[in-house]
Amino acid sequence: RALIRCTAEIAMQRGDLDSAIKLYVRVEDFRQVVRLLNRELGKHLLPSLSQDGQMPPPRDKLKQLANNFCHQHLKEHANRREALRHEATTLESLLNLMTFFDLCYQRKWEKAIRHLHQLELLPSEPRELVSFSSRYSANRNPNSDEALRRNLH
């Protein structure tokens, strides 16, 4: 186990997120996987279009990697999801925000607004502000949502 963790750390130092995640999954260090994904998704939250107007492959690949991890290792395992509650919530929020920004960059304004309302990340009316603020404060973990805080504040 220690050797695999060390190899995963070396993979991250070399910028090989794919390999690092596979290795951490192999030793069932799901918290580390989620932390890595949160950090990397936070760096690439906003799309930057390439010359041909397409999303750059590394961002798409990262988003797909995170989605696959969520489906294979979190959504199918309620106990694991609960153990990683704050980190997993941050991961899901980052993925949802990426989708929102993708829709905006594609100029699909109606879909983007609908998506944002479905996420219930922001109040749709001023009277909802207090309940949204309370809910955010109650579910917030200052150690796990740095990627969100860095992008939203």
DSSP letter assigned to residue 27: T
Q: What number is the average pLDDT over the span 36-40?
A: 93
Lowest average pLDDT, out of 22-26, 61-65, 97-101, 125-129, goes to: 125-129
Residue 146 has pLDDT above 70, yes or no: no
pLDDT the model gives residue 24: 94
Residue 120 pLDDT more than 90?
A: no
- Convert the pLDDT of each residue in 5-16 to its tens digit: 999 999 999 989
Check whether 36 has a pLDDT greater than 90: yes
Assign 50 to helix, strand or coil. Answer: coil
Give the residue carrying structure tokens 């955010």: 136
The pLDDT assigned to 52 comes to: 59
Per-residue pLDDT at 126 exceeds 90 = no
Judge whether residue 32 has pLDDT over 70.
yes
> CB under 8 Å to 10, separation ≥6 — which residues?
none
Give the pLDDT mean for 51-80.
78
- In the chain, the percentage of residues whose pLDDT exceeds 70 is 76
Which residues lie below 8 Å from residue 144, measured CB to CB, with a gap of 6+? Answer: 35, 38, 86, 87, 90
pLDDT beyond 70 at 25: yes
DSSP conformational letter for 121 = -
| pLDDT over threshold 70, residue 144 | no
Per-residue model confidence (pLDDT) at position 124: 74
Average pLDDT estimate for 117-125: 77
Distances in Å between the Cα of 56 and the Cα atoms of 59, 92, 115, 150 are: 6, 21, 22, 22
- List the one residue out of 41, 47, 63 whose CA is nearest residue 104: 47
